[in-house]
Amino acid sequence: MVLYEKMMHQSFERFRDLYLLYLVLISELQSLAIEKIEVGKNKRLPSREDLHPNTKFVANSLLRMLVNSKHLEREAKERTLSFVDNPDLTKQVFKALLETPEYNEYMESKERGFNHDKEHLVRFFKRHIINVENLQDYLEERNIFWVDDMDHAASMVLKTLKAAKEEEDDLKLLPLWKEDDDDKDFTLQLWRKTLSLGEESEKLIAAAATNWETDRIALTDMILMKMAIAEVQTFDQVPTKVTMNEYIELSKYYSTPKSSTFINGVLDQLFTTLQEKGVINKVGRGLI
């Protein structure tokens, strides 16, 4: 149990790696833009555009803040986060961005300013950078668990970029856990309670799923129902209906097409039984 709990905490840290790696990727686009300008200047027969390049992207205020971020540099170095093992990937991402209408519109626009730069860098990341297929494949190969984390990590990157202010000296990185949030404690309690109630929960599920042998129940369904049973008994301020709906939705994403209906039926019966026995105790009106 101690080993698996340690692995769970490690998976949280790997999620933060993904968040930071996305930021590192954005910052590396500036060096590629500079390289593109230098290549143009060093052509044997440079064009007027080569000799007088558009440096708007290179000078993007928020991009420069990312490149010069001591916070990002320190964390990336500590966690050895870079694309040094696949330099062609960053070039592919940059090339894909160059070919978008949004990039060309930004470069041709005469408007300047931090907010203008921020708006477009956010748009580039949201609409194009994270959607490069080779990038997604690379991240999946680097860590198979990142497949489920990409959307959430990308949303954290967007929050980070949108929260940046011109007057700030450095980019403020989001913490893995908020100081005033109990998500970390909730996760740990749910993990431990699910394991400690495991055998008891399995018996309850077997009794409720009368037409199913427990070894015929999909493993993911069994895990989700055990978690739901642990949650409904442990957290007295989480409404029973909220717990029910959360695990039904999780089953739609992680399990079989028929799992949500099956889990709905089993949990509905189980929660009713547990309430009648007084096992489920909620604090506050309307929580049951």
Q: Which CATH number fits the domain that encloses residue 203?
A: 1.10.940.10
174 assigned to some structural domain: no
Question: What b/e string do you get for 20-43 counting C-beta neighbours within 10 Å, with b at 16 or more?
Answer: bbbbbbbbbbbebbeebbeeeeee
- The tally of domains found in the chain comes to 2
Do residues 202 and 82 share a domain?
no
5 assigned to some structural domain: no
Give the tens place of pLDDT for each residue, 53-92.
889 999 999 999 999 999 999 999 999 999 998 999 999 9
Do residues 111 and 247 share a domain?
no
The yes-or-no verdict on residue 211 having pLDDT over 80 is no
Confidence of residue 9 (pLDDT cuts 50, 70, 90): confident
72-78 long-range CB contacts below 8 Å, 24 or more apart? Answer: 72/20, 72/23, 72/24, 72/27, 72/171, 72/173, 75/20, 75/173, 76/20, 76/21, 76/24
Do residues 109 and 202 share a domain?
no
Token couple for 185: 């404690």
What does the mean pLDDT of the chain come to?
A: 90
Q: Given this model, what pLDDT does residue 176 score?
A: 81
| Domain final residue pick, 98, 132, 163 | 163
The yes-or-no verdict on residue 258 having pLDDT over 80 is yes
- The reply to whether the predicted model has a pTM over 0.85 is no
How far is residue 160's CA from residue 93's CA, in Å, rounded to a whole number?
A: 20
Do residues 103 and 133 share a domain?
yes
SS3 at position 52:
coil
| Domain of residue 150, residue span | 11-163
Give the tens place of pLDDT for each residue, 107-146.
999 999 999 999 999 999 999 999 999 999 999 999 988 9
What φ, ψ does residue 207 adopt, rounded to 5°?
-70, -35
